[in-house]
């Protein structure tokens, strides 16, 4: 899609106050920064609001190192802003995004039918919204600053998993273009902040509890302070050469959260998540990664049940409802997994 920037500029006047809403991950943060830069000096005010706290160490490091100004949505009055924009998401993706009328929605996830705005630019074949925003900047002949280029570069890098996930030529072109404006030491500092010291206890817990059935590794952690640790551990366990699936679960804010990862060889994590947990809560994702969130009262499980019972519940849902049954001889208990 070309000539989008003139259409974007036509939506706003100098008297407008714009609120950009994001569910803060690197791609969303970078995309919001780019939109703010595009509208620089064209508005009275532009703020970026996060709908939930940033808990993942890498994302916290990104905000700190790049000095990115973000405000929790709970700390501002959205009515103070007469214009609203949404990047890297759509209104139906989260209940806190739904109540507003948007002027701009820019995203790379599949379009939801009810998504509406004065300007909607959704490109589901793209690997990252940061790619779209980089194209906007180039169309506007704006050279990104070190901060903005690093954010966009990192946004593409994370959302494509270093191009291990589906991407298009536009993602590659944007990535190479941004490389010329970044500093590799800075990007490395962002990448190496994967976890913090308090999270090490969860690693120990998962290592003591994991269970392998055939080539699939399951682990249930119980209550967690952030679901990000489930993502980190699912990615961590997938590094084992013998493992082609990791399914890691935990309880967060009265919900069972289950993270799915696989090696993407003729597998579909999103479909498995829907088959296993879709009837109990929300579930979905991509071929190699997915997530399910189920209210505890939908599981028919005792919330204070032992972790072994929860782990068995997850295994049963995945292997029976998800139709991934394996013979008993394929099972390796945690204490024999080495």
CATH number at residue 127: 3.90.1640.10
Are 185 and 204 within one domain?
no
Do 150 and 185 touch, CB atoms closer than 8 A?
no
Counted domains in the chain: 2
Domain boundary, last residue among 158, 191, 224 = 191
φ and ψ at 314, to 5 degrees?
A: -65, -45
Cβ partners under 8 Å of residue 79, min gap 6: none
pLDDT of residue 182: 93
Same domain, 43 and 177: yes
Asked if 256 and 187 sit in the same domain, the reply is no
Shared-domain flag, residues 216 and 292: yes
- The verdict on 45 and 157 lying in the same domain is yes
Examine the domain organization and report whether 217 and 80 are in the same domain: no
State the pLDDT at residue 61: 87
Out of 156, 191, 226, a domain closes at: 191
Taking the CB of residue 52, how many other CB atoms lie within 10 A of it? 13
pLDDT digits (tens, 9 = 90+) for 67-114: 999 999 999 999 999 999 999 999 988 889 999 999 999 999 999 889
Do 163 and 86 share a domain, yes or no?
A: yes
pLDDT given for residue 223 in this prediction:
96
Point out the residues of the chain with pLDDT beneath 70.
Answer: 1-2, 193, 323-338
Are 264 and 177 part of one and the same domain?
no
Domain with 294 in it: what CATH number?
Answer: 3.10.310.30
Tell whether 176 and 73 lie within a shared domain: yes
Q: Examine the domain organization and report whether 27 and 172 are in the same domain.
A: yes
**Domain boundary at 164, 191, 218, which?**
191
pLDDT of residue 304: 85
Q: Determine the structural domain holding residue 221 and report its residue range.
A: 200-336
pLDDT score at 303: 80
Q: Are residues 19 and 166 in the same domain?
A: yes
Q: What is the phi/psi pair of residue 52, to 5°? A: -150, 160
Specify the pLDDT at position 324.
Answer: 64
CB–CB of 129/107 below 8 Å?
yes
Let me know whether 182 and 99 are in one domain.
Answer: yes
Quick one: DSSP state of residue 112? Answer: P
């Amino acid at each position: 899609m070309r000539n989008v920037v003139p259409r974007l500029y036509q939506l706003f006047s100098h008297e407008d106050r714009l609120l950009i809403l994001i569910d803060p991950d690197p791609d969303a943060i970078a995309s919001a920064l780019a939109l703010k830069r595009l509208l620089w000096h064209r508005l009275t005010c532009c703020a970026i609001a996060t709908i939930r706290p940033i808990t993942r160490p890498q994302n916290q490091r990104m905000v700190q190192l790049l000095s990115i100004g973000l405000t929790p949505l709970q700390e501002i009055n959205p009515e103070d802003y007469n214009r609203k924009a949404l990047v890297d998401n759509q209104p139906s993706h989260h209940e806190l995004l739904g109540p507003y009328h948007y002027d701009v929605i820019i995203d790379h996830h599949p379009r939801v039918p009810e998504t509406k705005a004065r300007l909607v630019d959704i490109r589901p074949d793209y690997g990252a919204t940061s790619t779209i925003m980089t194209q906007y900047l180039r169309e506007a002949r704006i050279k990104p600053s070190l901060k903005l280029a690093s954010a966009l570069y990192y946004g593409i890098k994370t959302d494509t998993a270093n191009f291990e996930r589906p991407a298009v030529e536009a993602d590659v072109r944007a990535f190479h273009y941004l490389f010329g404006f970044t500093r590799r030491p800075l990007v490395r500092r962002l990448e190496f902040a994967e976890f913090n010291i308090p999270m090490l206890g969860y690693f120990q817990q998962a290592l003591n509890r994991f269970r392998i059935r055939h080539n699939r590794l399951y682990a249930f952690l119980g209550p967690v302070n952030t679901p990000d640790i489930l993502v980190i551990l699912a990615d961590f366990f997938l590094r084992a050469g013998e493992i082609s699936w990791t399914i890691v679960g935990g309880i967060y804010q009265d919900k069972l959260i289950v993270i799915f990862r696989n090696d993407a060889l003729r597998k579909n994590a999103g479909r498995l998540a829907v088959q296993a947990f879709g009837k109990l809560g929300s579930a979905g994702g991509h071929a190699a990664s997915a997530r399910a969130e189920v209210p505890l009262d939908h599981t028919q499980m005792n919330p204070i049940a032992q972790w072994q019972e929860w782990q068995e519940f997850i295994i049963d849902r995945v292997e029976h409802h998800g139709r991934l049954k394996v013979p008993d001889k394929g099972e390796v208990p945690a204490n024999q997994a080495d």
